[in-house]
Amino acid sequence: MNKTSLSPRTQRILVIDVLRGVAVLGIVIMNIQSFSMPSAAYINPMAYGDLTGINKTVWILSHLLADQKFLSIFSMLFGVGIILFGEHVREKGYLPARFYYRRLFWLFTFGLIHAYLIWHGDILVIYAVAGAIAFLFRKLNSWVLIALGLLILMVPAFNYWLFGKSMEYWPPEAIDAIRHNWLPPQDIIGREIAALTGNIGEQIKWRIPEAFKMQTFVLVIYLGWRALAMMLIGMGLFNTGVLSGDMSKKGYLFMALAFLTTGYLIIWQGIVHNFEAGWSVEYSMFLGWQWNYFGSFLVALGYVAVVMLLSKYFKMGLLALTGRMALTNYLITSIICGFIFYGHGLSLFGEVSRVAQFLIVMGIWVFLLLFSKIWFKYFYYGPAEWLWRFLTYGNKPVIRR
């Protein structure tokens, strides 16, 4: 069946699946840094590992092209999913809220298992919390949703600006604690490496406080607000036709050029200023962080426009299949990376350069694309998607073709 014979609604879902496939592959670029290096290196590239030559180039490109960009797309698509799920349940004659919050409960449960047993950087718990709030706003006017999302997007930026500007008034012990997180001494880095290359029990013991911090402090200060903002903006952009592929080719081309150019320029300024500041905690942790925070949102919109434009010329079926089982592929990525880097597998944590990390990323991309293609030859749903659907509705969907 070719694309022109599909209904507009089906075409719309295919385009969203393609975007979701791009997002789930793209987030591996940044997630692998968290899997393979001490946690401080994710926010401060000077904290661990070589940052010269080609390794520096790889870091700059990953920061410029990927950091927060694909996660923003993923979050916007979660907002689109809220609308599509509500329509789907309503068509069956049920109240959306009943099944939606059951769906979120199980997503929250998956996230807890993922965070505490596999990887502390889990995003599913945060999505479940933000999604519970975003659902309440789904019926607002499209432009109100976008405006509200932009307003909420400013909250973490204000928090970090306030932290940065007030740091000179903090007590010395508070600044020392921040410095230890930003640029940990070798003994702290050594303990993290030892824990994550140890047995499962040692890994979990280290992971529990890190995952809990992610689900409490980081959620309240930063990630919860960002996720909620992106979800609301995603809902608004879907309703206006931007995220449903309804804009003209010229519209998407203009959107891509405008947002990518502006976004990259802003992020590049941040890279320059942070290196000039020597990645000092006083500048880079809170104030220098702002460049990428705003620039990444613009670049994410630019990527959306590029994918939408390409979808008008190409089918991109392999990416669509990868996106159809995005939850499964997200979890598989964590399982693969856990085996490569942690103590129950190859124990390469702390030993892989940024160049080698990207080579591993490309290998994971190939695996996910091929696995998705093969899986859908025999099944209708990804395994995690099937389980999620079963737990949400209470009946077993037919999975075998």
Report the pLDDT value the prediction gives residue 13, as an integer from 0 to 100. 78
Report the pLDDT value the prediction gives residue 92, as an integer from 0 to 100. 81
Q: How much is the average pLDDT of 292-299?
A: 98
Report the pLDDT value the prediction gives residue 242, as an integer from 0 to 100. 94
pLDDT in tens, 163-196: 999 998 899 888 888 988 899 999 999 999 999 9
Domain assignment of residue 401, yes or no: no
Report the pLDDT value the prediction gives residue 7, as an integer from 0 to 100. 39
Q: Which residues pair with 379 in a beta bridge?
A: 400
Residues 6+ apart with CB under 8 A from 392: 99, 102, 103, 106
Domain assignment of residue 398, yes or no: no
pLDDT in tens, 232-280: 999 999 999 999 888 999 999 999 999 999 999 999 999 999 999 999 9
pTM for the structure as a whole? 0.93
Domain assignment of residue 400, yes or no: no
- Residue 5 banded pLDDT, cuts 50, 70, 90: very low
Query: Alpha helices, DSSP H only, in 122-248?
Result: 124-134, 142-166, 172-182, 186-196, 200-213, 224-240
pLDDT in tens, 203-228: 999 999 999 999 999 999 999 999 99
CB 35 within 8 A of CB 337: yes
Q: Is the pLDDT of residue 366 over 80?
A: yes
pLDDT in tens, 16-73: 999 999 999 999 999 999 999 999 999 999 999 999 999 999 999 999 999 999 999 9
Report the pLDDT value the prediction gives residue 91, as an integer from 0 to 100. 83
CA dist., res. 198 & res. 195, Å (int) = 5
In order, the DSSP letters of 42-77 are: HH-TTSSS--SHHHHHHHHHHHHHTTTHHHHHHHHH
- Residue 89 banded pLDDT, cuts 50, 70, 90: confident
Domain assignment of residue 165, yes or no: yes
The gap between the terminal CA atoms of the chain, to the nearest Å, is 17
Domain assignment of residue 190, yes or no: yes
Helix (H, G, I), strand (E, B) or coil at 36: helix
Domain assignment of residue 70, yes or no: yes
Report the pLDDT value the prediction gives residue 9, as an integer from 0 to 100. 44
Domain extent at residue 195: 3-393
Q: Is the pLDDT of residue 78 over 80?
A: yes
Residue 323 neighbours by CB distance under 10 Å: 25
- Residue 2 banded pLDDT, cuts 50, 70, 90: very low
Total tally of structural domains belonging to the chain: 1
CB 71 within 8 A of CB 373: no
